[in-house]
Amino acid sequence: MASLRDIKSRITSTKKTKQITKAMEMVSAAKLNRAQSKATAFFPYTEKIREVVSSIASGNEDSEEGISHPMLEARDEVKKTAYIVITSDRGLCGAYNSSLLRHTYKTINERHQSPEEYGLIVIGRVGRDFFKKRGMPIYQEIVGLQDQPEYGEIKNIASTTVQMFVDGIFDEIYLHYNHFVSVISQKVTESKLLPLNEFGAEAGAEGDSKKAAMEYIYEPDPKSILENLLPHYAESLIYGALLDAKASEFGARMTAMQSATNNATDRIDELTLVYNRARQAAITQEINEIVGGAAALE
């Protein structure tokens, strides 16, 4: 059985751990609020670009010449697929990283027979280390992003990724990240980034009502606008997913630290009970020895 000093030391160290986890929980809660606000504020911007692009794409069907763009057209043969995987730079956030990486790893193994069939663009140190350890092809990586990332921080990697699709290096690109549902729930999500061929389906489903609701005047012309807007739209989708993933990360970390704090409290209570029992037993033993010694002197 551990000595009273050992038990007391364990209680002290557990209390210090509890202070740390409680502080991290409060910090994560503050960061979560800012991340949610930023993601919510960015959403209307992405939706408006989507609306304009969809309007141009749906208008193509009515034009005699038609306006085509590589980013809107599905390739006849998909030779190489890219996966943009968004993880965190640090741990202590529960299953936030492990569930995402497990899903991505399983998806790649099911869809592809060799590393020549896919490539990875990784955001976050945890994901980068995971894929490097397994020898998987990483085309681009970025680590050390701030907690509230700015668009300029991922502009280069986003634009380069989009350009690789345009150049034919990749035939399709998927986004893998954790979508924020609530503080205690994050959903592993896969969304197709490129090609952006869903606009054709939208036009068929909503075409007449959208045209009646919103008419745009394009200057200089729809084709020029589409060529400039489509890459920017794809980049904004990557940035929007990053903001969503950051909110999920702080929610997961806040929940994990809250759970750790509660576990530390329970452990302190258990150790305190053990300490009191051991102390009581020691006092009882000392009393018995004193009584025994007094009886021996009589």
Q: How many C-alpha atoms does 274 have within 13 Å on its Cβ side?
A: 17
Distance of alpha carbon 287 from the chain centroid: 61
Measured CA to CA, the distance from residue 262 to residue 195 in angstroms comes to: 46
Over 60: is that where the pLDDT of 213 sits? no
Predicted pLDDT at 225: 80
Give the pLDDT score at 1: 59
The size of the chain, in residues, is 298
* The two three-digit tokens of residue 119, written as one number: 């490539």
For the cut 90, the answer to whether the pLDDT of residue 5 exceeds it is no
Q: Are 115 and 137 in contact (CB under 8 A)?
A: yes
Tokens of 27: 């910090």
Looking at residue 83, its pLDDT comes to 97
Six-digit token pair at 34? 């800012």
- Whether the ω angle into residue 220 lies within 30 degrees of 0, i.e. cis, is yes
| Most confidently predicted of 49-53, 56-60, 182-186, 213-217 | 182-186
Cα dihedral across residues 193, 194, 196, 201: positive or negative? negative
Average pLDDT over residues 73-82: 89
Q: What is the DSSP string of the chain?
A: ---HHHHHHHHHHHHHHHHHHHHHHHHHHHHHHHHHHHHHHHHHHHHHHHHHHHHHHHHHTTSSS----GGGS--SS---EEEEEE--SS--STTHHHHHHHHHHHHHHHH-SSGGGEEEEEESHHHHHHHHHTT--EEEEE----SS--HHHHHHHHHHHHHHHHTTS-SEEEEEEEEEEETTEEEEEEEEEES-THHHHHHHHHHHHHHHH-----SS-HHHHHHHHHHHHHHHHHHHHHHHHHHHHHHHHHHHHHHHHHHHHHHHHHHHHHHHHHHHHHHHHHHHHHHHHHHHH-
Look up residue 41 and give its two tokens.
Answer: 């504020």
Judge contact between 138 and 108, C-beta under 8 A.
no
Q: What is the model's pLDDT at position 298?
A: 65
Is 80 exceeded by the pLDDT of residue 212? no
Cα–Cα distance measured from residue 127 to residue 88, given in angstroms and rounded to the nearest whole number: 7
In this predicted model, what pLDDT tens digit does every residue of 153-206 receive, in sequence order? Answer: 999 999 999 999 989 999 999 999 999 999 889 999 999 999 886 654 444 444
If you average pLDDT over every residue of the chain, what do you get?
86
pTM of the model: 0.84
Catalytic: which of 93, 122, 183, 226?
93
Q: Which of these, 248, 258, 246, lies nearest to 95 by C-alpha position? A: 248
Q: What share of the chain has pLDDT > 90, as a percent?
A: 60
In the prediction, which pLDDT does 200 show? 46
The phi-psi region of residue 3 (left if phi > 0; otherwise alpha if psi is between -120 and 50; otherwise beta) is beta
Partnered with residue 123 across adjacent β-strands are 86, 142
Determine whether 93 is an active site residue: yes
Number of Cα atoms under 13 Å in the Cβ half of residue 62: 11
Q: Which domains does the chain have, with CATH numbers?
A: 4-23+260-297 (1.10.287.80), 28-255 (3.40.1380.10)
Beta carbons of 188 and 172 less than 8 angstroms apart: no
pLDDT at 104 over 90: yes
Backbone angles phi, psi at 143, to 5 degrees: -130, 165
